[in-house]
Structures are given as structure tokens and as C-alpha cells.
Copies of this chain bind each other. A is one copy, B any other.
Amino acid sequence: MVLRVGVVGGGQLARMMIAPATEIGVEIRVLAEDEGMSAALAATAVGDYHDAETVLAFARDVDVITFDHEHVPQDVLRALVGAGIAVHPGPDALLFAQDKLQMRARLQELGMPQPEWAAVSDVTELQDFIDAHGGRAVVKTPRGGYDGKGVRVVSSGVEAEDWFSSLAEDARGGALLAEELVDFSRELAQQVARRPSGEVRAYPVVETVQRDGVCAEVIAPAPHTGDRLQTVAAQIGVGIAEGLGVTGMLAVELFETTDERVLVNELAMRPHNSGHWSQDGAVTSQFEQHLRAVLDLPLGDAEPTAPWSVMINILGGPAEGGLDERFANAMAQHPSAKIHTYGKAPRPGRKVGHVNVVGEDLDEVAYQARAAAGLFGG
């Protein structure tokens, strides 16, 4: 009997689960939002993941439902669970990836290190928070933000007036999340895999470089990282995975501060851009690990296979002119580069693929990866 995993969402994360599913002999089925998406090869259904009936019909005959993204509404998730379908990560965990205010409150209960924060329900409360934190703050919409959207650095409460107005119109009402503007030296990410039956594996902590709020580059493991930092990051990752009951892959985005603290920035409960290096640089890629975890199969080694891996995102350049010639150029000039593509039409700023290079010497590895990705003019 072949195990079957159903993935809601047809983006590149679902696409990148196809290869390891084929290798370990798991049947993968995808519910895609549209025809011709990144994961089209495995798409057995096309429909709206906001519609419980659509998702329930898709979920029939699979052993577990998992996700390409965290946007499936709680009522749909709970309808799946109510129908006796295994859902990993489950709704109780996903809630904390869907609502940043809930996440901050829960991490506080768990005693996790994080920026100072507050729920602010109007301009005045935001202004008070700004005044109490050196005249600046980060303000976030609790829901629906990604890749820098729904995030603003403000120095005055009125700069978020439009968001407060739309909150007022929103039936749910609610508040915005205000956070101290952290003076960080760099950003890190800690990934952890966790099975429903409890087995946990931590990947090495990595350094992530963001540009315009989008992950641009990842160095694995994070350079200049002592045992203490690795241990602290792994403890935070495992603590959150267990504390929130996360199943599958968890990515914890971290700030390393100039005063040597590590603070939790964001959470993702799925394979994550900060783990793409693992496709070519770890014994078990995050995509194979996610499949093993959600199916409650034994987890694989999360160890690197070489001293250094560097991942560079390819951002789609001008829409005219396909990627083919650029791929051929990158392949020809950088035979050590592993090029991964998402089958998406190129658009300026859109993630259409990434390059991994793995090796002994960080300078050489980073040079090859940046040079290969640079040929795509992203």
C-alpha cells in the first residue's frame, strides 16, 4: 500500500515536494488554485482552498493533508479534522502562523525571547508605543502579511491610520501588532522537523539576507556561529515546535542583536525559503523531511553534507524573454551550481527559482552561487 499525501496549494513548495515524494515512494496529490501552477505535475484537483467542500473532496483517499502555504482558513481546517482527516500541521498550531498577535501572546507564555510588542487598536495606542520605544516602531497587520507586505516601520501613529480604518470595517475588528524596531546585527533562521509521534530534528541555524523584505540569500550553516548560538537557536526552534504542537517543518526567523540576544521574528509552518539549501547541502532536504514528518515516518539526518551551502533566490526579470538562455548560460559558466526552477512566468521581483552551491570554501561557494544567480538579472 502506497502512502498518499495531499498538499493544499500548488506553488513552488508543493512543486519541490514532488521530487522527494517520487524518491521515497509516496504518492503526492496537489489541490492547485489554478491550472498550470508550479506543482501542476502533481495537481489532481483545481479549486478554491477557502471552500470546505472543495478541500474535503480533495482530501478523500489521502493519508494526510499538508500545505504549500498557511492561508487555509481555520473553519476549513477544522472541517477536515472533524471529518477524521489527518491534518499536519493542525489548525491549533497553524493559528499561530496565521495570526501574529496570537503568536506573540503564545510565545510570551512559552517564555521565548522576542521583541517588545503590544496589540494596538488605534492611532493613539500606536503613538504611545512609539513614544515608549525611542520614537519608532514596526507595525504589522496580524493576518495575511508575507514577504514584507503588511509590515511598516513608522515613527508616528498616523502612518498606520489606513490599516486601523480597514480594521474598523473588518467584522472581526481587532488590533494591529506593534513591535520594537530591533537593532539587529543579522537575521538567522532555525528549522526544525517534528513528527506527530514526537520525534524532532533540528537543522543547523542559517544566516538569511533579506532585500526589500524578501529573502535573497541564505548561508548554511550561519558563519561565525559558536556552539552557544547554535544551541540557543536549536532550543528555541524545538521549544516552539513542541510548545505550539507543530507537525512537519517549522522555520523560526530570528534576529541576532548587537547585544548578542536572539529574538524570534516570524514563524512558518511548512518548508521555507531559508531551507532550500538543504536540497543540495543536507542529508535530508526539508521537502523530504516535511513529507516524512507529516506522514509520521522516521525523520532523516538533518546534517549538512559539506561545510558550506549558499542559496540565492532568482527573481524574475523582465517578462519578455524566457529563462531558457539564461539557464543555459548559468549552467555553462557555473557547472557546480544547482539551479532550481519553479515553472513560473517571470515577472520583476517574483521568485522564479533559486541556485544552490555546496562546497568546502565559503568564499568560492558564495561566489559561484551569486555569479550563477546574477546571470538571471533578477
Chain A positions near chain B (C-beta within 8 angstroms): 1-3, 15-16, 18-20, 22-25, 41-42, 279, 283-284, 292, 297-301, 303, 305-306, 322-324, 327-328, 331-332, 335-336, 338-343, 353, 358
Contact call B292/A331, Cβ cutoff below 8 A:
yes
Known pairs A23-B341, A301-B336 / 8 extra A-B pairs, C-beta < 8 Å: A18-B19, A25-B343, A283-B335, A298-B335, A299-B335, A300-B336, A301-B335, A305-B306
Identical chains bound together, number: 2
A300 to B20, CA, bound (A): 21
Q: Which residue of B lies closest to A40 (CB)?
A: B27
**Which of B25, B300, B301 is A341 in contact with, Cβ under 8 Å?**
B25
Chain B hits for A324, CB < 8 A: 1, 3
Chain B hits for A303, CB < 8 A: 336
Chain B hits for A284, CB < 8 A: 335
Chain B hits for A301, CB < 8 A: 335-336
A3 to B341, CA, bound (A): 13
A2 to B15, CA, bound (A): 16
Among A1, A3, A23, A331, the most chain B Cβ lie within 10 Å of the Cβ of A23
| A-B contacts, 30 listed (Cβ < 8 Å) | A1-B324, A2-B343, A3-B324, A16-B22, A18-B41, A19-B19, A19-B20, A19-B22, A22-B41, A23-B340, A24-B327, A25-B327, A25-B342, A25-B353, A283-B336, A283-B338, A283-B358, A284-B335, A297-B327, A297-B331, A298-B328, A298-B332, A298-B335, A299-B331, A299-B335, A300-B335, A301-B336, A303-B336, A305-B306, A305-B358
Contact call A300/B25, Cβ cutoff below 8 A:
no
Chain B hits for A338, CB < 8 A: 23, 283
Chain B hits for A299, CB < 8 A: 331, 335
A230 to B353, CA, bound (A): 36
Q: Which residue of B lies closest to A344 (CB)?
A: B25
Contact call B339/A24, Cβ cutoff below 8 A:
yes
Contact call A297/B335, Cβ cutoff below 8 A:
no
A168 to B299, CA, bound (A): 58
A299 to B19, CA, bound (A): 21
Contact call B22/A297, Cβ cutoff below 8 A:
no
**Which of B1, B41, B279, B340 is A42 in contact with, Cβ under 8 Å?**
B41
A22 to B15, CA, bound (A): 8
Least Cβ–Cβ distance between A145 and chain B, in angstroms: 29
Least Cβ–Cβ distance between A341 and chain B, in angstroms: 3
Chain B hits for A322, CB < 8 A: 1
Least Cβ–Cβ distance between A336 and chain B, in angstroms: 5
Contact call B19/A298, Cβ cutoff below 8 A:
no
**Which of B22, B24, B300 is A18 in contact with, Cβ under 8 Å?**
B22
Q: Which residue of B lies closest to A330 (CB)?
A: B298
Check A19/B23 contact, CB under 8 A, given A297-B331, A335-B301: yes
Chain B hits for A336, CB < 8 A: 283, 300-301, 303
A158 to B245, CA, bound (A): 72
* CB-based closest 6 A-B pairs: A25-B341, A19-B19, A298-B332, A298-B331, A301-B335, A301-B336
A5 to B22, CA, bound (A): 18
Least Cβ–Cβ distance between A218 and chain B, in angstroms: 17
Contact call B22/A328, Cβ cutoff below 8 A:
no
Among A303, A335, A341, A358, the most chain B Cβ lie within 10 Å of the Cβ of A335
**Which of B20, B22, B300 is A331 in contact with, Cβ under 8 Å?**
B300
Chain B hits for A332, CB < 8 A: 298
